[in-house]
Amino acid sequence: MDDLERELRRTFEERASRMPDNAPLPESLRRDVLRARRRKATAIGGAAVVSVAAIVAGLVLRANGTTERVDTIAPATTTLPPTTSTTIASGPPQCTAVTVTFEGSQGATGSEIGSFWVRNPGSSPCVLHGDIEVDLLDDNGQVVKTVTPPPAAGVSVVLEPHPEEPTNPPPSGLASFDLRWHELDLANGGAPCPQAVTPTTVRATFDHGAAQATTGSTPRDGSFSIKACNGEIDMSPLRPLT
């Protein structure tokens, strides 16, 4: 080891010793960690459920033939018997009308995570196939930012009918997604943000336009406030709400 290497070791030791040693776990960080684990466990569980359901459906279809044949119903104004038939895939139909509500946000260490619930207000179950795109809108309804989750990350979610707005704790059969943003300028050491995107509503588009919904400008918890520093905001995939 030469002089430079010795001096380098000494410099590193001296510099590193400036960082404090005492480090109690902040309560906010504990909550964030546990929430992250729950979220990932939910994603894993959701993927497992979908996989098992797909396998079971495949086995059932194989046992019963390839697909289910359903005769169409003849119009009531005619006496002609049904003359046509078609094949349909099993399972609920694609959701075409959903509602999205902002359920509040929690933050720590400069980061905020806002949770959104997706509900089926209809009277029968329907399915979202995991594709989602979120537009952040200003007061005039103009898009100020569009956010999408990581590619190929969403899973199909069957939405049970919930004509009434659910309360916490949520019932089964809802979907959810999260938006994450930083209110402080983290790239600048956590300084106050010089320029932030502050949408007033959020519009979610599902399955390439099959369904679309916009949050109310006044959510029921009254805390709707997104302030994404430098427009940096990302989102989770769509997932079942558990």
Query: Where do contacts with other proteins occur on this chain (CB under 8 A)?
Result: 4-5, 7-9, 11-13, 15-21, 23-26, 29-30, 32-38, 40-42, 44-45, 109-110, 186-190, 230, 242
Alpha-carbon span 150 to 88, nearest angstrom:
31
Minimum Å gap between C-beta 137 and other proteins is: 26
Alpha-carbon span 241 to 223, nearest angstrom:
21
The string of DSSP letters for 42-67 reads HHHHHHHHHHHHHHHHHHHHHHH-SS
Q: Which is nearer to other proteins, 9 or 208 (CB)?
A: 9
CA 168, 174, 179 angle in degrees (round to 5)? 80
According to DSSP, the β-strands at 201-206 and 132-137 are antiparallel
Q: How many residues does the chain have?
A: 242
Instruction: State the DSSP code for 94.
Output: B
CA 180, 181, 186 angle in degrees (round to 5)? 135
Q: Which is nearer to other proteins, 19 or 89 (CB)?
A: 19
Minimum Å gap between C-beta 184 and other proteins is: 10
Whether the Cβ atoms of residue 143 and residue 129 lie closer than 8 Å to each other:
no
Q: Which is nearer to other proteins, 40 or 69 (CB)?
A: 40
Q: Which is nearer to other proteins, 20 or 209 (CB)?
A: 20
Q: Which is nearer to other proteins, 23 or 152 (CB)?
A: 23
- Residue 18 in tokens: 């400036």
Exposed, middle or buried, 199 (CB in 10 Å: 0-12/13-18/19+)? Answer: buried
Q: Which is nearer to other proteins, 65 or 189 (CB)?
A: 189
Largest Cα separation within the chain, whole Å, is 102
Minimum Å gap between C-beta 63 and other proteins is: 30
Minimum Å gap between C-beta 165 and other proteins is: 23
Minimum Å gap between C-beta 60 and other proteins is: 25
Minimum Å gap between C-beta 16 and other proteins is: 4
